[in-house]
Amino acid sequence: MKNLVYINGNGHLNKAAFEVVTYAKKLGGEVTVLASGKMDSSLLSSLGAYGATEVVINRGITGNDDQQIAAWIATKTTGVDNIVFSHDFQGKAIAPRLSVRLKAGLIAGAVSLPEADGSVKVNVFSGKAFGFVKAHSAQRIISLLPNSIAPEESGTSCPVAEITEEMGAPTVRVLSVKKPEGAIPLPEAEMVVSAGRGLKGPEHWGMIESLANSLGAATACSRPVADIGWRPHHEHVGQTGVAIRPNLYIAVGISGAIQHLAGVNGSKVIVVVNTDAEAPFFKAADYGVVGDAFEVIPKLTEAIHKFKAAQ
Amino acid sequence: MKILVCISKAPDTTSKIAFTNNNSAFDENGVQYIVNPYDEWYALVRALEIKETSGANVTIITVGTAADEAIMRKALAIGADEAVRVDAEPTDAFMVASEISNYAKTQGFDLVLTGKETINFNGAQLGGMIAEGLNSPYISIASKLDVTGTMLTLEREITGGVEVVEVSLPAVVSCAKGMAEQRIPNMRGIMAARTKPLHVLAPTVTEALTSYVTFASTPAKSGVKLIDPNNMDELVSLLHNEAKVI
Ligand SMILES: Cc1cc2nc3c(=O)[nH]c(=O)nc-3n(C[C@H](O)[C@H](O)[C@H](O)COP(=O)(O)OP(=O)(O)OC[C@H]3O[C@@H](n4cnc5c(N)ncnc54)[C@H](O)[C@@H]3O)c2cc1C
Ligand SMILES: Nc1ncnc2c1ncn2[C@@H]1O[C@H](COP(=O)(O)O)[C@@H](O)[C@H]1O
């Protein structure tokens, strides 16, 4: 079996890269990682530990242009059985292109390894159900939902080949990049602390940030909170916002409307803090605290500090 | 300027999600369909705003059966000029994208808009597939789109931030929150929609590259464990020892 994995070779090696390499390794056989960008070869060679047989980085592609990247990947697919992407902004753009180019079935949003019958489990209905998808083509493209499998280190480093294949000028020109300072990107976060209208006003978010900081978690919010402008739009989670699936989701002062749940119910463990014992969110929760956030959250933050100090 | 907006149906968010035929198909019994929110609120409304400020013809396209004409009429009522329905039951993203790009190729659209994803299948595949079929640039998950002459300036989501990009037309864009605001159709729009052209085309491809074998509902939570609000040490201990998440 021959597997290809694409990762973004700009910035740092993120968790998504370790996940896709681990996934490809578990499919069995060789794993060739294709990367584009400026990343140092010594960094890339560490992907060997997660199961990469070799890494090939194309220095001729420096941006995020999916047309160029898909065209380049297509030249490396002879004899390849599976091509694995992360279901992130790049995977969502490159994988569909490659599917059309190669006439290879795309399994988008995979959450686990293939079943015995060759079908792959994917997330559907915004987390309310799973589907099992089969590709009918000889080659198969899989884009893996972030936080679906745990990265596993087993081997050592692997060889890295640096090549320069020019793919022409990118059609999409990047003018600037805006990154919120220091914040943990929501889709990648393993822990998320989120708050809703129950907090009454933006001036009360300090305690949510303190709780998030105590855990090393990202912050999020319900839609009305972003709509009124209490919090930035990129924090809005739910059906019409960002969909997340962290290990831990703490929801404070959020009622748990179905549209909110649609974006968060893939979380492994959900903690709900709400004054109303009848709030629908409790039905989707693993742990619940019926109480006033203004009292409970400072206490919880303190308890976490105490726990961390004792570790 | 000619704009094509891809419109998909999606079950109303309060619909019960159940499966039938040995869990091989979505149970449509009692399900109310709406226009997929990303397609309606962002892609369609932004196309109409462009039409209002700089002049454009806005065509909507749906690959689907006659039953989908209800949601297509809604899109016409909001303000699209005409509609095209490719008369086929969608089988997979590749098949739908091939139908749309085959149609678009013959019409010379400057801009093709899709939603970020459908809320039922969450594939986020169509836009990239259409772009490849048309050999056009593709800007995925855009939250802002401005047109100046034949240039587009967009903001799009990347991991951990937002990229401001520029591209020349023709192009394909998938639309997300931030691009526009929902519009409620008024009575005049609803009346006008009845007489707007809705062309029905025969499908050109039948090939699908993937299929759903079965579906399964997400296992229900076994029940919430309630913790005394005065005992947060217990919650922390449960998160550490039982849930093993901290
Ligand atoms: C098509 C559509 C799409 C939507 N998409 C989204 C989406 O993507 N994301 C989203 O979030 N919403 C979405 N919504 C809106 C959604 O239906 C709800 O209106 C919204 O999630 C409610 O936000 P909330 O829980 O913050 O506010 P509320 O419903 O007002 O709930 C506030 C909660 O705080 C509790 N509370 C009050 N005081 C305190 C206190 N002192 N301590 C603790 N708890 C307290 C209350 O008991 C209540 O449960 C969508 C709606 C529609 C129609
Ligand atoms: N049957 C369809 N007909 C027309 N457009 C569609 C159809 N299915 C999906 N789309 C468009 O493609 C986008 C992405 O869909 P998906 O790849 O299924 O997540 C949607 O938001 C729609 O704009």
Say if residue B17's pLDDT is above 90.
Answer: no
Instruction: Report pLDDT digits (tens) over A100-152.
Output: 999 999 999 999 999 999 999 998 887 788 999 999 999 999 999 988 898 99
**Average pLDDT for residues A87-92, to the nearest whole number?**
92
Compute how many other C-beta atoms are within 10 angstroms of the C-beta atom of residue A52: 28
> Exposure string (b/e) for A112-127, b if CB count within 10 Å is 16 or more?
bebeeeebbbbbbbbb
Its sign, for the CA torsion A244, B183, B75, B151, is negative
The percent of residues above 90 in pLDDT, for chain B, comes to: 86
Q: What is the pTM of this model?
A: 0.89
Contact across the interface for A97 and B160, Cβ inside 8 Å:
no
Instruction: Report pLDDT digits (tens) over B206-230.
Output: 789 999 999 998 877 789 999 999 9
Query: What is the pLDDT at residue B160?
Result: 74
**Average pLDDT for residues B35-50, to the nearest whole number?**
96
Which H or E run includes B236?
Answer: helix B232-241
Say if residue A79's pLDDT is above 90.
Answer: yes
Q: Which of A116, A120, A112 is nearest to A136 (CA)?
A: A120
Shortest-distance atom of ligand 1 to CA A225 = 26
Query: What is the pLDDT at residue A266?
Result: 86
Angle (nearest 5°) at CA B121 between B118 and B124 = 55
Q: Which of B26, B64, B157 is nearest to A233 (CA)?
A: B157
Instruction: Report pLDDT digits (tens) over A244-270.
Output: 889 999 999 999 998 899 889 889 999
Query: What is the pLDDT at residue A64?
Result: 86
Say if residue A184's pLDDT is above 80.
Answer: no
Say if residue A178's pLDDT is above 90.
Answer: no
pLDDT band at B205 (very low <50, low <70, confident <90, very high): confident
Name the residue among A109, A129, A137 with its Cβ closest to that of B218: A129
Contact B239, B246 (CB under 8 A): yes
Say if residue A194's pLDDT is above 90.
Answer: yes
**What's the gap in Å between A271 CA and the centre of ligand 1?**
16
Tell me if A127 CB under 6 Å of ligand 1: no
**Average pLDDT for residues B85-95, to the nearest whole number?**
96
Instruction: Report pLDDT digits (tens) over B128-157.
Output: 999 999 999 999 999 999 999 999 999 998
Query: What is the pLDDT at residue A181?
Result: 62
Instruction: Please measure the distance between the N-terminal and C-terminal CA atoms of chain A and give it in whole angstroms.
Output: 44
Say if residue A206's pLDDT is above 70.
Answer: yes
Tell me if B4 CB under 6 Å of ligand 2: no
3-state secondary structure of B125: coil
Q: Which of A204, A228, A186, A220 is nearest to A298 (CA)?
A: A204
Q: Write the residue with the smallest CA distance to atom 10 of ligand 2.
A: B8
Its sign, for the CA torsion B228, B234, B240, B246, is positive
CA distance B197 to chain A (A): 31
Name the residue among A66, A132, A271 with its Cβ closest to that of B128: A66
Instruction: Report pLDDT digits (tens) over A21-56.
Output: 999 999 999 999 999 999 999 999 999 999 999 999
What is the rounded CA–CA span in Å between residue B111 and residue B137?
10
Instruction: Report pLDDT digits (tens) over A120-133.
Output: 999 888 778 899 99
Tell me if B125 CB under 6 Å of ligand 2: yes
| B-chain residues near A299 (CB < 8 A) | 229-230, 232
Say if residue B34's pLDDT is above 70.
Answer: yes
Residue B233, judged by CB atoms within 10 A of its CB (0-12, 13-18, 19+), counts as middle
Query: What is the pLDDT at residue A108?
Result: 96
pLDDT band at A19 (very low <50, low <70, confident <90, very high): very high
